[in-house]
Structure 1
Amino acid sequence: MQGVLHGGVGTGVGSMPGADPREAAAVVNGELDLAHLAELPQRGAGADMVGRMAAVLVDMPMDAGTWGYRLAARGSAVARRARDFVHADLDAVEELWDTAGFIGTGRVFKIQVCGPFTLSASVELPAGHKVLRDRGAWRDVVASTTEGIIELVDDVTRRLGAQVVVQLDEPMIGAVIDGSVRPLTRFDTIPAVPVNDVAQSLAGLVEAVGRPVIVHSCATPRWDLVERLPAVAWSLDMSSPGPADLDGVGGLIDRGGILLAGVVPSAGGDRRVRAEIVATGLAELTDRIGLGRKVLADNVIVTPTCGLAGATPGWAKDALGVCARAGELLAADPDAL
């Protein structure tokens, strides 16, 4: 299923600065061969990672207030805003693809959604507890997320004629497994979800969606989860890998898995960050692990680190360009790096 994903390219994580979907889509599709649906959280409620799920979840309305996001009994203004944002984002990409002649060509395109466990750790039930506190409730979120992804993938496929790749954003998945999700009050304890339960739930989602899936997390990699989900690609921060990360990456790639390596800084706009330096750093990483450099062309995709929405528009464009050019260097001749 991961056949449409391969190394030697660059892509983005998802979020971009600004509030204009056409500007963001032009940058993403202009810089990247593996383009993605730009997310613009600066537009406010309904545009951030969690709020966008009000446009994705099926039969599970969401609302927002000063407390954050909460499951609701009926549709809300924030859900309408989220749907409008997603439609505007897709309209912008469809217009660009139509002009470029990409529609119907089977070009690969990536969409991102908040993963069900991070969503359950972030959203409240109507009764005022985190969804994650209720096992039945978070299982319902997994089912609703699955159904919503299938509908979104169908919409993107209809519009673009693309090979759609799905990215699940799960920055809180480690806290979910460890039982360290912060409760609403100190008396409102939230139990840990065993790693096997998390893996089985995500595996069921992946199977039902039937498309290549990436799990993205900018937190410390959970290699105990990675080894239990061999059917997905992994998008991880590799800017400062430790010994455990070297072992984990080695195991992931050795079994033929795809690593989306977050190595290009998302903030700061350091002009010294060049594609050659990024590609050489990844080559040195594979040398340290003991892998042949051919895996760079086959199994490694270059991405920025998290937080590109907080960058300047100029640096966001430059960072994606660095990712794309570094990927080309990995594909061309990794042994020459």
Structure 2
Amino acid sequence: MNSAEGMGGAGTTADRRFPWQPGAATGAGSMPGTDIRETVRVVTGAVEGLPFLPELPARGPGADMTGRTAGLLAELSVQHEPSGWRIADRPGRDTRRAAAWLREDLDTLEEFTQGFTGPLKLQAVGPWTLAAAVQRRNGEAMLGDRGACRDLAASLAEGLRAHLADVRRRVPGARLLLQLDEPSLPAVLAGRVRTASGYRTHPAVDAAVAEETLRGLLDAVAGTGTGGGPGGGPGGEVLPVAHCCAPGPPFALLRRAGFRAVSLDLALLTEGEYDAVAASVEAGVALFAGVLPGHGSTAADGTGPLSDPAGTVSGVRTLWRRLGLSPESVAGAVVVTPSCGLAGASPACARAALEHCARAARTLVDDPV
């Protein structure tokens, strides 16, 4: 796999705040099917400027995003129940299976990234979405116990530190990005996460508490054998990305917590959020703009939505103009992505979607306005 260095159109220079070159595209994380070798081959080829470690939830519990992340937890064990993932007394079959799949995936990624020196994205579920998804032994979400939430966040931080250190050993030239998936964060902050009975909701988490937890986790992860190097380079910082494909991402909270990029479904962005987006971008936060649906409704034969790359990112250009931002900055500060994971698409559609995102991103270099 080739290095991502040197990409970009004529007259466009890289934004040194970020480790990717202008006109980058990537995926959210999940992909269809069960063949990790073919999936990594597709990912490293279709979005070679910003590849990612794919998740294949079709393999079963432990390969899904919650199970994979739960398998990373340090000194906390989980097991899969009919109602979902639950804290267990000791590591069992489900934890071992999640760890085995992750090792296989990392072995494959290492094989396909020999000599790679560009940015590489990893994904894990963030502490608040994980607290809403993982149950205590009584069947209620860990979200309902503030002490349990603190323990979970600490365990996740330690597990992520080990995970990132492992990837650094395997792909030593990579500039690591860590995407924390937090689709439940708006519901957590608004008190909309239902209890196990479905008749009540868990109390809202104070925004200051949510921010402090996220900041603490990012601070812990940033110390994974890293210095303060710019752009997430080898031996430098891990660049944190918050992925929230639900309506109402808390932009200001995520920026204050230390995230350097926010990944969102662009179609869900409202005019009332424009000021918050502008403030984030002006503060140096990149946007991972989700511009294609992840459910496989797009055509893989070059017709329909995939026939017009420039049209796919017209919403990005419109947003940039509405925010009053410099057109020349859009190609470096925006990474083009599907709106969410592609696990619900066919393999052919998923590949076509990634390739189309890459083409669409390059049009932002050639014609930023």
TM-score category of the 2 structures, normalised to the smaller one: over 0.9
- TM-score by length of structure 2 reads 0.85
Compute the displacement of 1:6 (Å): 5.9
Q: Deviations over 1:128-157 (max 9, x none)?
A: 321011101001111111111111101111
Q: What is the CA–CA distance in structure 1 between the aligned matches of 2:298 and 2:360, rounded to whole Å?
A: 17
Q: What is the CA–CA distance in structure 2 between the aligned matches of 1:188 and 1:219, rounded to whole Å?
A: 21
Compute the displacement of 1:217 (Å): 0.8
8 Å CA contact retained: 1:253, 1:295: no
Q: What is the CA–CA distance in structure 2 between the aligned matches of 1:24 and 1:53, rounded to whole Å?
A: 20
Q: Give 3-state SS (helix, strand or coil) of 2:313's partner.
A: helix
8 Å CA contact retained: 1:2, 1:213: no
The equivalent of 1:218 in structure 2 is 245
Compute the displacement of 1:333 (Å): 4.1
1:275–1:148 Cα change, 3 Å: same
Compute the displacement of 1:7 (Å): 4.8
Compute the displacement of 1:188 (Å): 6.6
8 Å CA contact retained: 2:178, 2:241: yes
8 Å CA contact retained: 2:157, 2:217: yes
1:237–1:172 Cα change, 3 Å: same
Letter aligned with residue 68 of structure 1: G
Structure 1 residue 96 corresponds to structure 2 residue 96: no
Structure 1 residue 140 corresponds to structure 2 residue 169: no
The equivalent of 2:267 in structure 1 is 239
Query: Which structure shows the higher helix fraction?
Result: 1
Structure 1 residue 85 corresponds to structure 2 residue 101: yes
Letter aligned with residue 272 of structure 1: G
Q: What is the CA–CA distance in structure 2 between the aligned matches of 1:334 and 1:187, rounded to whole Å?
A: 49
Is the deviation greater in 291-300 or in 1-10? 1-10
The equivalent of 1:287 in structure 2 is 321
Q: What is the CA–CA distance in structure 2 between the aligned matches of 1:323 and 1:291, rounded to whole Å?
A: 22
Matching residue within 299, 304, 313 for 1:272: 304
Q: What is the CA–CA distance in structure 1 between the aligned matches of 2:310 and 2:336, rounded to whole Å?
A: 12
Q: What is the CA–CA distance in structure 1 between the aligned matches of 2:246 and 2:165, rounded to whole Å?
A: 30
The equivalent of 1:126 in structure 2 is 137
Structure 1 residue 59 corresponds to structure 2 residue 75: yes
Matches within 5 A, 1:10-89: 10-32=25-47, 33-89=49-105
Q: What is the CA–CA distance in structure 1 between the aligned matches of 2:133 and 2:283, rounded to whole Å?
A: 33
Unaligned runs of at least 5 residues, structure 2: 1-15, 223-237
8 Å CA contact retained: 1:37, 1:110: yes
Matching residue within 104, 107, 112 for 2:118: 107
Q: Deviations over 1:58-97 (max 9, x none)?
A: 0000001112110111001111110111111111111112
The equivalent of 1:172 in structure 2 is 184
The equivalent of 2:357 in structure 1 is 323
8 Å CA contact retained: 2:194, 2:200: no
Compute the displacement of 1:278 (Å): 2.0
Q: What is the CA–CA distance in structure 2 between the aligned matches of 1:294 and 1:300, rounded to whole Å?
A: 11
Q: What is the CA–CA distance in structure 1 between the aligned matches of 2:346 and 2:298, rounded to whole Å?
A: 8
Letter aligned with residue 246 of structure 1: Y
Compute the displacement of 1:259 (Å): 0.6
Q: What is the CA–CA distance in structure 2 between the aligned matches of 1:309 and 1:229, rounded to whole Å?
A: 29
Compute the displacement of 1:250 (Å): 1.5
Compute the displacement of 1:222 (Å): 2.2
Unaligned runs of at least 5 residues, structure 1: none
8 Å CA contact retained: 1:258, 1:300: yes
1:5–1:196 Cα change, 3 Å: farther
1:114–1:36 Cα change, 3 Å: same
8 Å CA contact retained: 1:50, 1:122: yes
Q: What is the CA–CA distance in structure 1 between the aligned matches of 2:131 and 2:22, rounded to whole Å?
A: 32
Structure 1 residue 184 corresponds to structure 2 residue 196: yes
Q: What is the CA–CA distance in structure 2 between the aligned matches of 1:291 and 1:253, rounded to whole Å?
A: 9
Indicate the RMSD between aligned Cα atoms, in angstroms. Answer: 1.8
Compute the displacement of 1:258 (Å): 0.5
8 Å CA contact retained: 1:9, 1:331: no
- TM-score by length of structure 1 reads 0.93
Letter aligned with residue 85 of structure 1: W
8 Å CA contact retained: 1:177, 1:192: yes
Letter aligned with residue 152 of structure 2: V
Q: Deviations over 1:273-303 (max 9, x none)?
A: 2322123332122112222212212211100
Aligned residues: 330
Q: Give 3-state SS (helix, strand or coil) of 1:310's partner.
A: coil
Identity %: 40
Letter aligned with residue 321 of structure 1: E
1:69–1:293 Cα change, 3 Å: same
